[in-house]
């Protein structure tokens, strides 16, 4: 068990590294069938003729897998991993066979002015594959509580 983190434990420049998740075509198609049923996420042949040039995971699947990797002990926030807002870009497609890993860095720690028991911690998380390609950049403004006295 890792020690839970509270607002005062976060510092700009602090880094976190997740476990890995191996993605395959079956997972990509299953997520897409439920949430993003477009040909380039569902079918190899159709994907060849799309802007992706081959089967690619839904960006929402990459985001959801990134969340799973973050929640599984990467950043053990005592009050939970609760996002107030996020920005996401997907610089490259995520493919079958990619092994995902998340590399996070704290970029800002801002105590709330109106609510002294909490603050916003901004965390920039790159989701990379086993070749080091950056597949997603997620900037999250996390709501983090101070440790109760």
Choose the binding region for a second copy from 6-14, 54-62, 95-103, 119-127 (rule: CB under 8 A).
54-62
114: left (phi over 0), alpha (psi -120 to 50) or beta: alpha
What gap in Å lies between CA 88 and CA 8, rounded to an integer? 26
Choose the binding region for a second copy from 1-9, 84-92, 104-112, 123-131 (rule: CB under 8 A).
84-92
Q: What is the closest distance, in whole angstroms, from the C-beta atom of residue 42 to a second copy in the complex?
A: 11
Token look-up 């990509």 returns 28
Is-contact 124 137, C-beta < 8 A? Answer: yes
Is-contact 86 138, C-beta < 8 A? Answer: yes
Choose the binding region for a second copy from 5-13, 30-38, 106-114, 127-135 (rule: CB under 8 A).
30-38
Interface residues with a second copy (CB under 8 A) are 34-40, 50-51, 58-60, 63-65, 67-68, 71-72, 79-90, 143, 145
């Amino acid at each position: 068990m890792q020690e839970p983190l509270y607002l005062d434990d976060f510092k700009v420049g602090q880094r976190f590294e997740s476990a890995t998740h191996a993605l395959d075509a079956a997972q990509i198609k299953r997520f897409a069938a439920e949430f993003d049923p477009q040909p380039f996420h569902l079918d190899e042949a159709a994907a060849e003729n799309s802007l992706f040039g081959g089967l690619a995971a839904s960006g929402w699947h990459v985001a959801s897998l990134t969340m799973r990797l973050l929640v599984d002990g990467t950043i053990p926030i005592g009050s939970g991993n609760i996002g107030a807002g996020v920005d996401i870009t997907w610089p490259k497609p995520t493919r079958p066979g990619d092994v995902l890993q998340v590399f996070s860095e704290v970029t800002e720690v801002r105590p709330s002015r109106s609510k002294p028991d909490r603050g916003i911690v901004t965390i920039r998380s790159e989701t990379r594959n086993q070749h080091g390609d950056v597949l997603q950049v997620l900037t999250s403004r996390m709501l983090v509580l101070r440790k109760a006295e």
